[in-house]
Structure 1
Amino acid sequence: MYKNKNITFLSHLLVWLMLFSLPYLLSYGQEQDINRIIARFWIPLLLSAVIFYLNYFILIDRLLFKKKMALFVLINLILVGVFLYLKVNIEETFFNQLTKKRINDGRSEGPPFKMFVYIQSLTYMAPILFSIALKSTNRLVQTEAERKEAANIKLKSELQHLHYQLQPHFFFNSLNNIYAMVDISPDQAKTSIHSLSKLMRYMLYETNVETIPLSKEVDFMKKYIDLMKLRVSDKTEVSYNFPNGETGIKIAPLMFISLIENAFKHGVSASKKSHIYIDLTCNENKIVFRIENDNFPKIAEDKSGSGIGIQNVKKRLELLYPNKYSFETTIKENRFVAQLEIQTN
């Protein structure tokens, strides 16, 4: 803000210096009469500057922008009239020799009084109109900046809400899975609680950023898959393909975990064989995530889960990667397939 004010001040200063220097530039190489320059150029320019800044700093904000148009016009008409009177009296009092010289040289005394008033009034209208144009432009720029800031705050708020919504959803689903193990395999339940604590530490302390390295997200998904594999039977096969090591790609955190959750929730059966396959590939600016699982629809009486997983993914994609993603879900030969492609730049 301070830097912008300095730039504005310097811009105004340079413009006025150029305008005050203009008489010299136009008459360069010719005989110059300093009194004529003061009377004909600098005094009108000084009065124009006063009118400009009175409007720029006071009248436009307090009257024009507050819909007090009649008062704004009246005050400016009075200002123009007063400044015309001052200009004429200053010339007659301090620079009357210019008029005498013009008469002695055989030149007329100037245009008729009405024409003089008309021309001078138009001259003083220019800084008024220019101040209105400049102030209106600044106001539009400021309004647009405030609109973008408000939209950005809203976006961050929505993303934060979705992030906080995802955390308890993930936590309670994982607890439900561990609860089912307690009686069957206490040792596995203990191991699962320890693994869950690591996952929750990652979610709470490492994902409150806009983007994270893809390698961290891959490591998190592997740990989650290992946790989920503890609760499924030997009838379920889980396989995955993730890139190894650092890829140099960054991604919004927790973008894929809901899809993996969904696969373990709806793609696993206690009595039938099932297979979950996860594949993630990437290049310099594109990530392709594909997950396939058998489709075992929930029965009407099954109230487990909140059903926010897929909806959460879609909302986050719309907010984080507008026009930079494609997300499709299909059911083919009784297998559910979800494919997500994200352009990362």
Structure 2
Amino acid sequence: MNKVRYINNNLMIVLFWAFIATILIFQLLAVDEYDLHKAIIYSSMITSTFAIYVHLVLRKVIKRYIQTKRISSLILWVFITAFIASIILTLEDYTIDSFFSQDWNRHKETMLPQFFGMLMATILISGIAYSFELYRHHIETLKATQVLKDSLNDLKVKSIRQQLSPHFTFNILNNLQFLIQKDKNEALKLLSQYSKILRYYVYESQNKAILLNDEIAFLKTYLELEKDRLKDEAQVDVNISIEPNDLKIAPFILSTFVENAFKHLSTKHKWVSVSIQYKGNKLYMNVKNNHDDKINEQPKGMGLEQVKKRLQLIYPDKYILEFDKTNNVFSVQLNIKFE
């Protein structure tokens, strides 16, 4: 990819100077003393000198200024290099005119005006080159900053996953303990489903994004297992309406809210409600559970705080997350906009 970009940049540079040379040829042909042959030679030499000056001399001066930020040094070096380049260009102009006219003394009186003309042209080109180089440096800085930002975000997401991993795993093992104590046969049957959940967590949590349908399937399995674990101890209402699609979502964004609801259930009259719908290009999720104020002063656990950070990193300006605690009912409303 970098090699292709390098080739494309060189091609654009060649085309640019070829365009300048062509324009100069047409301008010279408008002057009576220039024929096509002389115009091509003059244009080629002058354009080549300008190109060498810009790419081999001026760009190095400008890059050095960008690193040091010394404007006085930049002005001094640009003037010196422009002065030298103007002398060379004036000599080239004199040589070409004298060669075609075979009169080496004829054009001496015009050298000084030509020099100042070349100096003005060189300074103008220096200003244009400086603007382009500064713009290029700005773009490269933005790209480098974005790469660093993306890398930092990846590190943050990985760190958050590592923090969530033991929390989720301990809940799974705790649920399995309840099942084994109640009914060994049922525990063996449901153990296979728990294995699927753990396998899903281990492998899918390593991906930046997974299919929304896979996350929903995982969530349904988790809800069924919680229903089996709690039996008649809790009322679990589930309303999930997701049509098959190819949308992708960050893993465990949705399940964390459901897990948190079961973790902070009230000790009496346990109740959990999970509603997930997808309309247009937005996903709507609402999770509610009742809790005991005296036991759970802050039902928002570490898992919710970590998922908030993930949402901020992965879906900036594309999500709405609201918490509400009213009459011993804790509610989470999450909306995610998909592009």
Q: TM-score scaled by structure 1?
A: 0.82
Shift of 1:38: 6.5
Pick from 153, 176, 199 the counterpart of residue 155 of structure 1: 153
Question: What is the alpha-carbon distance in structure 2 between the residues aligned to residue 223 and residue 83 of structure 1?
Answer: 76
Instruction: Give the match's secondary structure for 1:277.
Output: strand
The aligned residue for residue 8 of structure 2 is 7
Aligned-pair identity (%): 23
Instruction: Give the match's secondary structure for 1:234.
Output: helix
Query: Please, which runs of 5 or more residues in structure 1 have no aligned partner?
Result: none
Question: What is the alpha-carbon distance in structure 1 between the residues aligned to residue 200 and residue 130 of structure 2?
Answer: 55
Q: 1:214 to 1:54 in 2, by over 3 A?
A: closer
The aligned residue for residue 198 of structure 2 is 200
The aligned residue for residue 37 of structure 1 is 39
Structure (1 or 2) with the larger CA radius of gyration: 1
Are the aligned partners of 2:61 and 2:74 in contact in 1 as well (CA < 8 Å)? yes
Instruction: Give the match's secondary structure for 2:324.
Output: strand
Letter in 2 for 1:123: A
Question: What is the alpha-carbon distance in structure 1 between the residues aligned to residue 49 and residue 220 of structure 2?
Answer: 75
Letter in 2 for 1:53: H
Letter in 1 for 2:54: F
Question: What is the alpha-carbon distance in structure 2 between the residues aligned to residue 215 and residue 306 of structure 1?
Answer: 26
Give CA-to-partner distance per residue, 1:241-268, whole Å, 9 cap, x none.
2226624433222112121112212224
Question: What is the alpha-carbon distance in structure 1 between the residues aligned to residue 273 and residue 137 of structure 2?
Answer: 56
Shift of 1:24: 3.4
Shift of 1:13: 1.2
The aligned residue for residue 208 of structure 2 is 210
Shift of 1:96: 2.9
Shift of 1:286: 1.2
Shift of 1:194: 3.2
The aligned residue for residue 126 of structure 1 is 124
Q: Provide the aligned length of Structure 1 versus Structure 2.
A: 337
Are the aligned partners of 2:284 and 2:335 in contact in 1 as well (CA < 8 Å)? yes
Question: What is the alpha-carbon distance in structure 2 between the residues aligned to residue 335 and residue 244 of structure 1?
Answer: 26
Shift of 1:45: 3.1
Shift of 1:240: 0.8
Pick from 248, 254, 270 the counterpart of residue 256 of structure 1: 254
Over 6 Å off, 4+ runs: 97-104
Query: Please, which runs of 5 or more residues in structure 2 have no aligned partner?
Result: none
Which one has the bigger helix percentage? 2
Shift of 1:306: 10
The aligned residue for residue 289 of structure 1 is 285
Letter in 1 for 2:304: I
Letter in 2 for 1:274: K
Aligned ranges 1:1-345 → 2 under 5 Å: 1-26=2-27, 32-33=34-35, 37=39, 41-62=43-64, 65-67=67-69, 73-90=75-92, 95-96=97-98, 109-110=109-110, 113=112, 116-243=114-241, 246-269=244-267, 272-297=268-293, 299=295, 307-345=301-339
Letter in 2 for 1:120: M
Residue range with higher mean Cα deviation, 284-293 or 58-67: 58-67
Shift of 1:94: 5.6
Are the aligned partners of 2:59 and 2:129 in contact in 1 as well (CA < 8 Å)? no
Are the aligned partners of 1:266 and 1:298 in contact in 2 as well (CA < 8 Å)? no
CA RMSD of aligned residues (A): 3.5
Instruction: Give the match's secondary structure for 1:157.
Output: helix
Shift of 1:16: 1.4
Shift of 1:81: 3.9
Residue range with higher mean Cα deviation, 125-134 or 35-44: 35-44
Shift of 1:289: 1.1
Question: What is the alpha-carbon distance in structure 2 between the residues aligned to residue 283 and residue 5 of structure 1?
Answer: 45
